[in-house]
Amino acid sequence: MTQLRPDMFEEAAVRLDGVSLRYDSSEEILSGIDLVLKPGSFSFLTGASGAGKSSLLKLLYLAQPPTRGEVSLFGRPTGRLTRDQLSALRRRVGVVFQEFRLLTHLTAYENVALPLRVMGRKESQYRRDVEELLTWVGLGERLHKRPETLSGGEQQRVAIARAVVTQPNLLIADEPTGNVDPDMGARLMRLFFELNKRLGTTVIIATHDLGLIRQIDAPVFRLANGMLVQESGEKTPAARRRTDPLKAMP
């Protein structure tokens, strides 16, 4: 997957080309990263704490420019885009943060509707969709609750609903199961697979939950010493035999 092929360039949802990143005068966190994610692909990103997973994801959701190299989303090199063009590109990306980043003064419904408000949609246009989505993630009765009144798992589901409400082309999740129990983690993973399968959303999930990774037949990229390598041999034989990753889910 990390090997670039010319035929992949046109259709790549994500392409990193020799990307490096350093903050201020510190050492490089990421060095010469090459990565291609095809549209509709499902991948894991793993690595030890501090390996740079979150930094790599920041590059993908355009919160941080690379120090060197080029980040392209949906075939568009981001280094040459205007600020408005970057904003338009971000709208095609859904992000689930490890710490949720829900706005505490807004209700669950309003948090999920936030990307739609940003896009200038009228509430009358999105109200039903948002309510249905929250019902789908099991929060139909908690629409107008504020985040502080929701459990960790409920907050996580709100964050996921917010990330997918615009039906993004790319979904990025940073440790999405890090704050929930294993059962809830498995349910959330199933949700990501549903999105990937039904909507063709390109999904990349950063996690250090090797147990979860081993259960699912999906490419795994490991960050170590600032370098990105595709990992192999981590999966169980049963997982490798599976063609539908959803079958691995509880």
**How near is the Cβ of 123 to other proteins at its closest, in Å?**
6
Q: Given the complex with other proteins, which of 43 and 107 has the nearer CB atom? A: 107
**How near is the Cβ of 240 to other proteins at its closest, in Å?**
35
- Edge-to-edge strands, sheet with 170-174: 93-96, 170-174, 202-206, 42-47, 220-224, 227-231
**How near is the Cβ of 90 to other proteins at its closest, in Å?**
4
242 burial level (CB within 10 Å; 0-12, 13-18, 19+): middle
| Helix pair 182-199, 152-164: axis angle to 10 deg | 10
**Can you tell me the distance from the alpha carbon of 193 to that of 204, in angstroms, rounded to the nearest whole number?**
11
Report the interface residues with other proteins, using CB under 8 A.
Answer: 61-65, 83-84, 86-93, 95, 101, 103-107, 109-110, 113-115, 117-119, 123, 127, 144
Q: Given the complex with other proteins, which of 19 and 248 has the nearer CB atom? A: 19
Q: Given the complex with other proteins, which of 83 and 241 has the nearer CB atom? A: 83
**How near is the Cβ of 19 to other proteins at its closest, in Å?**
14
**How near is the Cβ of 17 to other proteins at its closest, in Å?**
17
| Strand-pair category, 227-231 with 30-37 | unpaired
Q: Given the complex with other proteins, which of 81 and 227 has the nearer CB atom? A: 81
Q: Six-digit token pair at 17?
A: 């080309």
Q: Given the complex with other proteins, which of 79 and 250 has the nearer CB atom? A: 79
CB-side neighbour CA atoms (13 Å) of 176: 33
